[in-house]
Amino acid sequence: MVKIIHMADTHLGYRPRRGTINKWAINNYSKPFEQEIYDCFLNVVDEISNIKNFDYVVHCGDIFHHPSKYSSYPPPEPARRTLKKGLQIFFEKTNNQVPLIYIEGNHGVFKGYEYTPFESHFNRDQYPNLYYFKERDLLNAIKSNEPLLLEFPDKKVRFYLFPYFEFKSFETYESAYDKWVINQQPEYNDDYINIAVAHGSIADETLHNKVNSDDFHYDYVALGHEHGFKQVSRNHFYSGSLLPMNFKEKLENQSYLIVDIDDKTRELNIETIFTDKLLKRPFEIIPIEVNPKNSKTDLENGIENALKQFAFEKEFNAETSARLKINFVGEITFEKNWEINELMVKIRRKVFSQPEIYNILQLIWKISDISETLEDDISAGIIQDYILDKPDNEFKAFVKEKLSEDKTEYNIDKLTEFGMRAIKKALRVMEREKEV
Ligand SMILES: [Mn+2]
Protein backbone atom coordinates (compact mmCIF):
# COMPACT_ATOMS: atom_id res chain seq x y z
CA MET A 1 0.00 0.00 0.00
CA VAL A 2 1.19 3.48 -0.88
CA LYS A 3 -0.41 6.45 0.84
CA ILE A 4 -0.28 9.89 -0.77
CA ILE A 5 -1.62 13.21 0.41
CA HIS A 6 -2.80 15.30 -2.52
CA MET A 7 -3.30 19.05 -2.20
CA ALA A 8 -3.14 22.10 -4.48
CA ASP A 9 -3.85 25.78 -5.14
CA THR A 10 -3.26 27.21 -1.68
CA HIS A 11 -2.75 30.72 -3.10
CA LEU A 12 -0.92 32.07 -0.03
CA GLY A 13 -1.01 35.86 -0.22
CA TYR A 14 -4.43 36.10 -1.87
CA ARG A 15 -6.26 39.27 -0.81
CA PRO A 16 -9.77 39.98 -1.98
CA ARG A 17 -9.82 43.64 -2.91
CA ARG A 18 -13.09 44.45 -4.62
CA GLY A 19 -15.56 46.10 -2.26
CA THR A 20 -13.65 45.32 0.92
CA ILE A 21 -13.31 47.44 4.04
CA ASN A 22 -9.78 48.72 4.54
CA LYS A 23 -8.90 46.81 7.71
CA TRP A 24 -5.96 44.71 8.70
CA ALA A 25 -6.00 41.35 10.42
CA ILE A 26 -2.57 42.10 11.78
CA ASN A 27 -1.68 45.77 11.51
CA ASN A 28 0.44 46.57 8.45
CA TYR A 29 1.03 42.88 7.93
CA SER A 30 -1.89 40.86 6.63
CA LYS A 31 -5.46 41.38 5.51
CA PRO A 32 -8.32 39.48 7.17
CA PHE A 33 -9.10 36.83 4.53
CA GLU A 34 -5.44 36.54 3.57
CA GLN A 35 -4.67 35.69 7.21
CA GLU A 36 -7.44 33.10 7.29
CA ILE A 37 -5.79 31.23 4.41
CA TYR A 38 -2.43 31.31 6.24
CA ASP A 39 -3.98 29.95 9.43
CA CYS A 40 -5.89 27.30 7.55
CA PHE A 41 -2.78 26.18 5.63
CA LEU A 42 -0.70 25.84 8.78
CA ASN A 43 -3.50 23.90 10.50
CA VAL A 44 -3.80 21.56 7.55
CA VAL A 45 -0.02 21.03 7.36
CA ASP A 46 -0.05 20.17 11.04
CA GLU A 47 -3.01 17.82 10.59
CA ILE A 48 -1.38 16.10 7.61
CA SER A 49 1.91 15.67 9.47
CA ASN A 50 0.04 13.71 12.13
CA ILE A 51 -1.45 11.17 9.71
CA LYS A 52 -0.07 7.70 10.32
CA ASN A 53 2.15 5.95 7.80
CA PHE A 54 1.89 8.10 4.75
CA ASP A 55 4.52 7.98 2.06
CA TYR A 56 4.33 11.20 0.04
CA VAL A 57 2.75 14.63 -0.14
CA VAL A 58 2.13 16.13 -3.55
CA HIS A 59 1.19 19.78 -3.93
CA CYS A 60 -0.03 20.42 -7.47
CA GLY A 61 0.96 24.07 -7.83
CA ASP A 62 -0.06 27.66 -7.05
CA ILE A 63 1.14 27.63 -3.45
CA PHE A 64 1.60 31.43 -3.78
CA HIS A 65 -0.98 33.70 -5.36
CA HIS A 66 1.55 36.33 -6.53
CA PRO A 67 3.08 36.96 -8.94
CA SER A 68 0.69 35.99 -11.71
CA LYS A 69 -0.20 36.95 -15.24
CA TYR A 70 -1.92 40.10 -13.99
CA SER A 71 0.44 41.07 -11.18
CA SER A 72 4.20 41.15 -11.03
CA TYR A 73 4.33 41.75 -7.28
CA PRO A 74 6.19 39.08 -5.33
CA PRO A 75 4.22 37.19 -2.65
CA PRO A 76 3.62 39.36 0.43
CA GLU A 77 6.05 38.81 3.28
CA PRO A 78 3.55 36.94 5.49
CA ALA A 79 2.86 34.51 2.62
CA ARG A 80 6.55 33.68 2.39
CA ARG A 81 6.83 33.31 6.14
CA THR A 82 3.79 31.05 6.18
CA LEU A 83 5.25 28.69 3.61
CA LYS A 84 8.55 28.67 5.46
CA LYS A 85 6.78 27.83 8.69
CA GLY A 86 4.65 25.20 6.98
CA LEU A 87 7.72 23.45 5.60
CA GLN A 88 9.40 23.60 9.00
CA ILE A 89 6.39 22.05 10.72
CA PHE A 90 6.06 19.35 8.10
CA PHE A 91 9.67 18.22 7.92
CA GLU A 92 10.16 18.44 11.66
CA LYS A 93 7.09 16.38 12.45
CA THR A 94 7.94 13.78 9.81
CA ASN A 95 11.65 13.72 10.74
CA ASN A 96 12.52 14.54 7.14
CA GLN A 97 11.34 11.07 6.22
CA VAL A 98 8.43 11.96 3.94
CA PRO A 99 9.03 13.49 0.48
CA LEU A 100 7.10 16.64 -0.35
CA ILE A 101 6.75 17.07 -4.08
CA TYR A 102 5.79 20.45 -5.51
CA ILE A 103 5.20 21.42 -9.12
CA GLU A 104 4.86 24.98 -10.28
CA GLY A 105 1.49 26.37 -11.35
CA ASN A 106 0.65 29.58 -13.16
CA HIS A 107 0.69 31.59 -9.91
CA GLY A 108 3.73 32.41 -7.80
CA VAL A 109 5.95 32.54 -10.85
CA PHE A 110 7.97 35.42 -12.27
CA LYS A 111 7.24 34.99 -15.97
CA GLY A 112 10.39 34.98 -18.04
CA TYR A 113 12.71 34.63 -15.08
CA GLU A 114 14.40 31.42 -14.13
CA TYR A 115 14.31 31.90 -10.41
CA THR A 116 11.05 31.74 -8.49
CA PRO A 117 9.70 33.12 -5.19
CA PHE A 118 9.82 29.56 -3.89
CA GLU A 119 13.54 29.22 -4.50
CA SER A 120 14.46 32.69 -3.37
CA HIS A 121 13.35 31.76 0.12
CA PHE A 122 14.34 28.14 0.47
CA ASN A 123 17.51 26.37 -0.03
CA ARG A 124 16.87 22.96 -1.52
CA ASP A 125 19.66 21.53 0.64
CA GLN A 126 17.88 22.68 3.76
CA TYR A 127 15.16 20.11 3.15
CA PRO A 128 16.58 16.92 1.63
CA ASN A 129 13.08 15.59 1.04
CA LEU A 130 11.68 18.65 -0.70
CA TYR A 131 11.28 18.16 -4.44
CA TYR A 132 10.52 21.20 -6.51
CA PHE A 133 9.80 21.23 -10.22
CA LYS A 134 9.44 24.41 -12.20
CA GLU A 135 8.74 25.44 -15.75
CA ARG A 136 12.47 25.54 -16.46
CA ASP A 137 12.80 21.85 -15.57
CA LEU A 138 10.02 21.09 -18.00
CA LEU A 139 11.61 23.15 -20.77
CA ASN A 140 14.93 21.39 -20.21
CA ALA A 141 13.20 18.02 -20.37
CA ILE A 142 11.48 19.01 -23.62
CA LYS A 143 14.74 20.30 -25.08
CA SER A 144 16.63 17.13 -24.26
CA ASN A 145 13.64 14.91 -25.04
CA GLU A 146 13.84 13.27 -21.64
CA PRO A 147 11.02 12.38 -19.28
CA LEU A 148 10.41 14.62 -16.27
CA LEU A 149 10.01 12.21 -13.41
CA LEU A 150 10.92 11.39 -9.88
CA GLU A 151 11.60 7.80 -8.95
CA PHE A 152 11.65 6.10 -5.55
CA PRO A 153 13.09 2.62 -6.23
CA ASP A 154 12.78 1.47 -2.59
CA LYS A 155 9.02 1.90 -2.69
CA LYS A 156 8.69 1.31 -6.41
CA VAL A 157 6.84 4.55 -6.94
CA ARG A 158 7.33 6.95 -9.82
CA PHE A 159 5.97 10.47 -10.25
CA TYR A 160 5.53 11.96 -13.72
CA LEU A 161 5.63 15.72 -13.40
CA PHE A 162 3.73 18.31 -15.38
CA PRO A 163 4.40 21.85 -14.14
CA TYR A 164 2.09 24.43 -15.71
CA PHE A 165 2.96 25.29 -19.26
CA GLU A 166 1.00 27.20 -21.89
CA PHE A 167 1.87 24.80 -24.66
CA LYS A 168 -1.11 25.96 -26.71
CA SER A 169 0.13 29.55 -26.88
CA PHE A 170 2.48 29.00 -29.78
CA GLU A 171 2.44 26.40 -32.51
CA THR A 172 6.09 25.50 -31.97
CA TYR A 173 5.53 24.88 -28.27
CA GLU A 174 2.48 22.80 -28.95
CA SER A 175 4.18 20.44 -31.37
CA ALA A 176 7.31 20.22 -29.18
CA TYR A 177 5.12 19.32 -26.20
CA ASP A 178 3.20 16.77 -28.26
CA LYS A 179 6.45 15.11 -29.24
CA TRP A 180 7.89 15.20 -25.73
CA VAL A 181 4.83 13.99 -23.84
CA ILE A 182 5.33 10.44 -25.15
CA ASN A 183 8.35 10.29 -22.80
CA GLN A 184 5.89 10.50 -19.92
CA GLN A 185 4.28 7.18 -20.73
CA PRO A 186 5.20 4.44 -18.24
CA GLU A 187 6.34 1.16 -19.68
CA TYR A 188 3.74 -1.46 -20.24
CA ASN A 189 3.48 -3.99 -17.38
CA ASP A 190 5.67 -1.85 -15.20
CA ASP A 191 5.97 -3.06 -11.61
CA TYR A 192 6.09 0.55 -10.40
CA ILE A 193 3.13 2.53 -9.15
CA ASN A 194 2.92 5.41 -11.62
CA ILE A 195 1.47 8.73 -10.58
CA ALA A 196 1.04 11.86 -12.66
CA VAL A 197 1.19 15.27 -10.97
CA ALA A 198 -0.07 18.13 -13.11
CA HIS A 199 -1.18 21.75 -12.98
CA GLY A 200 -3.67 22.51 -15.71
CA SER A 201 -7.17 21.98 -16.95
CA ILE A 202 -8.81 21.04 -20.21
CA ALA A 203 -11.28 23.88 -19.57
CA ASP A 204 -8.61 26.44 -20.54
CA GLU A 205 -6.53 24.01 -22.62
CA THR A 206 -3.61 23.91 -20.21
CA LEU A 207 -3.73 20.17 -19.57
CA HIS A 208 -2.45 17.91 -22.31
CA ASN A 209 -4.94 15.41 -23.64
CA LYS A 210 -2.56 12.54 -22.86
CA VAL A 211 -2.66 13.51 -19.19
CA ASN A 212 -6.35 14.23 -19.16
CA SER A 213 -7.18 10.90 -20.81
CA ASP A 214 -6.33 7.44 -19.53
CA ASP A 215 -4.00 6.73 -22.49
CA PHE A 216 -0.88 6.42 -20.36
CA HIS A 217 -2.54 4.23 -17.72
CA TYR A 218 -1.30 6.11 -14.70
CA ASP A 219 -2.42 4.58 -11.44
CA TYR A 220 -3.38 7.98 -10.13
CA VAL A 221 -3.46 11.50 -11.59
CA ALA A 222 -3.14 14.33 -9.03
CA LEU A 223 -4.37 17.58 -10.52
CA GLY A 224 -4.22 21.25 -9.59
CA HIS A 225 -5.51 24.47 -11.22
CA GLU A 226 -9.26 24.02 -10.75
CA HIS A 227 -10.11 25.31 -7.30
CA GLY A 228 -13.04 23.06 -6.48
CA PHE A 229 -12.80 19.39 -5.51
CA LYS A 230 -13.57 17.35 -8.60
CA GLN A 231 -13.38 13.72 -9.56
CA VAL A 232 -12.73 13.80 -13.30
CA SER A 233 -12.60 10.04 -13.80
CA ARG A 234 -11.94 6.88 -11.77
CA ASN A 235 -8.34 7.94 -11.09
CA HIS A 236 -8.17 11.65 -12.04
CA PHE A 237 -8.80 14.11 -9.20
CA TYR A 238 -8.65 17.81 -8.42
CA SER A 239 -8.31 18.30 -4.67
CA GLY A 240 -9.19 21.99 -5.02
CA SER A 241 -7.83 24.81 -2.85
CA LEU A 242 -8.17 24.81 0.92
CA LEU A 243 -10.75 27.60 1.11
CA PRO A 244 -12.99 29.22 -1.50
CA MET A 245 -11.40 32.44 -2.70
CA ASN A 246 -14.24 34.08 -4.56
CA PHE A 247 -18.01 33.79 -4.75
CA LYS A 248 -17.93 31.37 -7.67
CA GLU A 249 -15.73 29.05 -5.65
CA LYS A 250 -18.12 29.34 -2.73
CA LEU A 251 -20.46 27.16 -4.79
CA GLU A 252 -17.81 24.40 -4.90
CA ASN A 253 -16.03 22.40 -2.18
CA GLN A 254 -12.35 22.50 -1.32
CA SER A 255 -10.30 19.69 0.14
CA TYR A 256 -7.17 17.67 0.41
CA LEU A 257 -7.17 13.98 -0.45
CA ILE A 258 -5.71 10.94 1.25
CA VAL A 259 -5.05 8.47 -1.55
CA ASP A 260 -4.31 4.81 -0.84
CA ILE A 261 -3.03 2.78 -3.77
CA ASP A 262 -2.87 -0.99 -3.40
CA ASP A 263 0.49 -2.02 -4.83
CA LYS A 264 -0.85 -5.34 -6.07
CA THR A 265 -4.32 -4.63 -7.42
CA ARG A 266 -3.69 -0.88 -8.00
CA GLU A 267 -7.07 -0.28 -6.51
CA LEU A 268 -7.67 3.22 -5.17
CA ASN A 269 -9.13 4.13 -1.82
CA ILE A 270 -9.64 7.87 -1.61
CA GLU A 271 -10.68 9.88 1.39
CA THR A 272 -11.70 13.49 0.80
CA ILE A 273 -11.06 15.84 3.72
CA PHE A 274 -13.20 18.89 3.08
CA THR A 275 -11.30 21.94 4.29
CA ASP A 276 -13.93 24.50 3.23
CA LYS A 277 -15.66 23.50 6.48
CA LEU A 278 -12.83 25.28 8.32
CA LEU A 279 -14.01 28.65 6.99
CA LYS A 280 -14.64 30.85 10.03
CA ARG A 281 -16.62 33.70 8.50
CA PRO A 282 -19.99 33.87 6.75
CA PHE A 283 -19.33 33.88 3.01
CA GLU A 284 -22.66 34.27 1.31
CA ILE A 285 -24.49 35.09 -1.86
CA ILE A 286 -27.76 36.82 -0.96
CA PRO A 287 -30.47 36.88 -3.64
CA ILE A 288 -32.79 39.90 -3.73
CA GLU A 289 -35.72 40.02 -6.11
CA VAL A 290 -36.22 43.25 -8.01
CA ASN A 291 -39.65 44.35 -9.15
CA PRO A 292 -39.93 47.50 -11.28
CA LYS A 293 -43.15 48.38 -9.41
CA ASN A 294 -41.36 48.57 -6.06
CA SER A 295 -40.12 51.92 -4.90
CA LYS A 296 -36.58 52.87 -4.04
CA THR A 297 -37.51 52.76 -0.36
CA ASP A 298 -38.78 49.18 -0.72
CA LEU A 299 -35.50 48.21 -2.31
CA GLU A 300 -33.47 49.98 0.35
CA ASN A 301 -35.43 48.27 3.14
CA GLY A 302 -34.92 44.92 1.47
CA ILE A 303 -31.16 45.39 1.37
CA GLU A 304 -31.00 46.70 4.94
CA ASN A 305 -33.01 43.69 6.10
CA ALA A 306 -30.67 41.28 4.36
CA LEU A 307 -27.67 42.91 6.01
CA LYS A 308 -29.25 43.01 9.46
CA GLN A 309 -28.07 39.53 10.38
CA PHE A 310 -24.48 40.69 9.88
CA ALA A 311 -24.89 43.72 12.11
CA PHE A 312 -23.81 43.30 15.68
CA GLU A 313 -23.43 45.66 18.60
CA LYS A 314 -19.74 44.96 18.69
CA GLU A 315 -16.59 45.82 16.84
CA PHE A 316 -15.56 44.61 13.43
CA ASN A 317 -13.75 41.31 13.85
CA ALA A 318 -11.12 40.33 11.27
CA GLU A 319 -11.70 36.62 11.91
CA THR A 320 -15.48 36.50 11.71
CA SER A 321 -16.42 39.40 9.42
CA ALA A 322 -18.63 38.37 6.52
CA ARG A 323 -17.92 38.32 2.81
CA LEU A 324 -21.20 39.13 1.07
CA LYS A 325 -22.44 39.37 -2.47
CA ILE A 326 -25.95 40.50 -3.24
CA ASN A 327 -27.49 39.14 -6.41
CA PHE A 328 -30.25 41.40 -7.69
CA VAL A 329 -32.48 39.46 -10.02
CA GLY A 330 -35.59 40.67 -11.79
CA GLU A 331 -36.81 42.87 -14.58
CA ILE A 332 -34.01 45.40 -14.67
CA THR A 333 -34.69 48.65 -16.45
CA PHE A 334 -31.95 51.22 -16.94
CA GLU A 335 -33.48 53.25 -14.13
CA LYS A 336 -33.48 50.27 -11.79
CA ASN A 337 -29.90 49.52 -12.70
CA TRP A 338 -28.79 53.04 -11.74
CA GLU A 339 -30.99 53.00 -8.66
CA ILE A 340 -29.43 49.76 -7.36
CA ASN A 341 -25.89 50.92 -8.03
CA GLU A 342 -26.52 54.24 -6.33
CA LEU A 343 -28.15 52.59 -3.32
CA MET A 344 -25.46 49.95 -2.93
CA VAL A 345 -22.64 52.49 -3.08
CA LYS A 346 -24.43 54.48 -0.38
CA ILE A 347 -25.15 51.45 1.79
CA ARG A 348 -21.64 50.09 1.46
CA ARG A 349 -20.22 53.43 2.50
CA LYS A 350 -22.49 53.40 5.53
CA VAL A 351 -21.62 49.80 6.46
CA PHE A 352 -17.87 50.39 6.17
CA SER A 353 -18.01 53.64 8.11
CA GLN A 354 -19.71 51.92 11.05
CA PRO A 355 -17.39 49.04 11.93
CA GLU A 356 -18.73 49.18 15.48
CA ILE A 357 -22.10 47.96 14.13
CA TYR A 358 -21.40 45.93 11.01
CA ASN A 359 -19.16 42.91 11.02
CA ILE A 360 -18.76 42.93 7.24
CA LEU A 361 -15.46 42.54 5.40
CA GLN A 362 -16.69 42.63 1.82
CA LEU A 363 -19.85 43.81 0.13
CA ILE A 364 -20.29 43.48 -3.61
CA TRP A 365 -23.29 43.00 -5.87
CA LYS A 366 -24.39 41.80 -9.24
CA ILE A 367 -27.44 42.85 -11.21
CA SER A 368 -29.00 40.22 -13.44
CA ASP A 369 -31.82 40.94 -15.82
CA ILE A 370 -34.29 38.09 -15.79
CA SER A 371 -35.42 38.86 -19.35
CA GLU A 372 -32.01 37.75 -20.56
CA THR A 373 -32.65 34.25 -19.34
CA LEU A 374 -36.14 34.36 -20.84
CA GLU A 375 -34.63 35.51 -24.13
CA ASP A 376 -37.21 38.15 -24.86
CA ASP A 377 -36.38 41.72 -25.56
CA ILE A 378 -38.35 43.74 -23.02
CA SER A 379 -35.42 45.23 -21.19
CA ALA A 380 -32.64 47.40 -22.44
CA GLY A 381 -30.15 44.74 -21.36
CA ILE A 382 -26.98 45.24 -19.49
CA ILE A 383 -24.84 48.18 -20.42
CA GLN A 384 -21.82 46.39 -21.81
CA ASP A 385 -23.95 44.36 -24.22
CA TYR A 386 -25.55 47.53 -25.47
CA ILE A 387 -22.33 49.39 -26.06
CA LEU A 388 -20.40 46.52 -27.53
CA ASP A 389 -22.77 45.27 -30.19
CA LYS A 390 -20.32 45.73 -33.09
CA PRO A 391 -17.50 47.53 -31.33
CA ASP A 392 -15.08 47.79 -34.25
CA ASN A 393 -17.61 49.22 -36.70
CA GLU A 394 -19.15 51.53 -34.16
CA PHE A 395 -15.80 52.77 -32.98
CA LYS A 396 -14.60 53.37 -36.51
CA ALA A 397 -17.74 55.33 -37.40
CA PHE A 398 -17.33 57.36 -34.22
CA VAL A 399 -13.69 58.21 -34.90
CA LYS A 400 -14.42 59.06 -38.54
CA GLU A 401 -17.24 61.41 -37.58
CA LYS A 402 -15.21 63.15 -34.90
CA LEU A 403 -12.20 63.60 -37.15
CA SER A 404 -14.19 65.01 -40.06
CA GLU A 405 -15.84 67.47 -37.67
CA ASP A 406 -12.39 68.35 -36.51
CA LYS A 407 -11.05 68.46 -40.07
CA THR A 408 -7.96 66.58 -38.93
CA GLU A 409 -6.17 63.91 -40.90
CA TYR A 410 -5.38 60.69 -39.11
CA ASN A 411 -5.09 57.08 -40.05
CA ILE A 412 -8.58 55.91 -39.10
CA ASP A 413 -7.73 52.20 -39.35
CA LYS A 414 -4.78 52.65 -37.06
CA LEU A 415 -6.87 54.62 -34.57
CA THR A 416 -9.57 51.96 -34.68
CA GLU A 417 -6.97 49.33 -33.98
CA PHE A 418 -5.78 51.26 -30.91
CA GLY A 419 -9.35 51.78 -29.80
CA MET A 420 -10.16 48.10 -30.15
CA ARG A 421 -7.12 47.24 -28.11
CA ALA A 422 -8.31 49.58 -25.38
CA ILE A 423 -11.79 48.06 -25.44
CA LYS A 424 -10.42 44.53 -25.32
CA LYS A 425 -8.24 45.46 -22.40
CA ALA A 426 -11.21 46.99 -20.60
CA LEU A 427 -13.22 43.83 -21.29
CA ARG A 428 -10.50 41.66 -19.82
CA VAL A 429 -10.59 43.79 -16.68
CA MET A 430 -14.35 43.37 -16.53
CA GLU A 431 -14.04 39.61 -17.02
CA ARG A 432 -11.56 39.46 -14.18
CA GLU A 433 -13.82 41.43 -11.91
CA LYS A 434 -16.69 39.12 -12.73
CA GLU A 435 -14.65 36.22 -11.36
CA VAL A 436 -14.60 37.68 -7.87
MN1 LIG B 1 -3.57 27.67 -11.41
- The secondary structure of 183-252, three-state, reads HHCCCCCCCCEEEEEEECCHHHCCCCHHHHCCCCCCCEEEEECCCCCEECCCCEEECCCCCCCCCCHHHC
Residue 247 scores a pLDDT above 70? yes
Q: State in Å: Cα 371 to ligand 1 middle.
A: 35
User: Which of the four pLDDT bands, split at 50, 70 and 90, describes residue 381?
Assistant: very low
Q: State in Å: Cα 225 to ligand 1 middle.
A: 4
Residue 252 scores a pLDDT above 90? yes
Q: State in Å: Cα 63 to ligand 1 middle.
A: 9
- Give how far Cα 50 sits from Cα of 7, 82, 93, 269, Å: 16, 19, 8, 19
User: Please, which residues have CB less than 5 A from ligand 1, an ion?
Assistant: 62, 105-106, 225
Residue 160 scores a pLDDT above 50? yes
Helices 391-406 and 412-435 meet at what angle, rounded to 10?
130
pTM of the predicted protein model: 0.85
User: For a pLDDT cut of 90, what percent of the chain falls above it?
Assistant: 73
Q: State in Å: Cα 72 to ligand 1 middle.
A: 16
Count of positions (residues) in the chain? 436
Q: State in Å: Cα 275 to ligand 1 middle.
A: 18
Residue 409 scores a pLDDT above 90? no
User: Which of the four pLDDT bands, split at 50, 70 and 90, describes residue 309?
Assistant: confident
Q: State in Å: Cα 227 to ligand 1 middle.
A: 8
> What is the structure's pLDDT at 203?
93
User: Which of the four pLDDT bands, split at 50, 70 and 90, describes residue 372?
Assistant: low
> What is the structure's pLDDT at 55?
98
Model pLDDT for residues 9-48, shown as the tens digit of each residue: 999 999 999 999 999 999 999 999 999 999 999 999 999 9
Model pLDDT for residues 312-332, shown as the tens digit of each residue: 767 899 999 999 999 999 999
Q: State in Å: Cα 68 to ligand 1 middle.
A: 9
Residue 366 scores a pLDDT above 80? yes
Burial 236-265 (b: 16+ CB within 10 A, else e): bbbbbbbbbbbbebbebbbbbbbbbbeeee
Q: State in Å: Cα 201 to ligand 1 middle.
A: 9
Residue 190 scores a pLDDT above 60? yes
Model pLDDT for residues 211-233, shown as the tens digit of each residue: 999 999 999 999 999 999 999 99
Residue 359 scores a pLDDT above 60? yes
Q: State in Å: Cα 346 to ligand 1 middle.
A: 36
Q: State in Å: Cα 62 to ligand 1 middle.
A: 6
Q: State in Å: Cα 236 to ligand 1 middle.
A: 17
Q: State in Å: Cα 104 to ligand 1 middle.
A: 9
> What is the structure's pLDDT at 28?
95
Q: State in Å: Cα 230 to ligand 1 middle.
A: 15
Residues with Cβ within 8 Å of residue 277, at least 6 apart in sequence: none
Determine the residue type at 405. E
Q: State in Å: Cα 400 to ligand 1 middle.
A: 43
Residue 377 scores a pLDDT above 70? no
Q: State in Å: Cα 170 to ligand 1 middle.
A: 19
Q: What is the mean pLDDT of residues 265-277?
A: 97
> What is the structure's pLDDT at 41?
98
Q: State in Å: Cα 105 to ligand 1 middle.
A: 5
- Give how far Cα 249 sits from Cα of 42, 159, 306, 363, 418, Å: 21, 29, 22, 16, 35
The strand pairing partners of 160, in sequence order, are 149, 196
Among 42-51, 334-343, 401-410, the range of highest mean pLDDT? 42-51
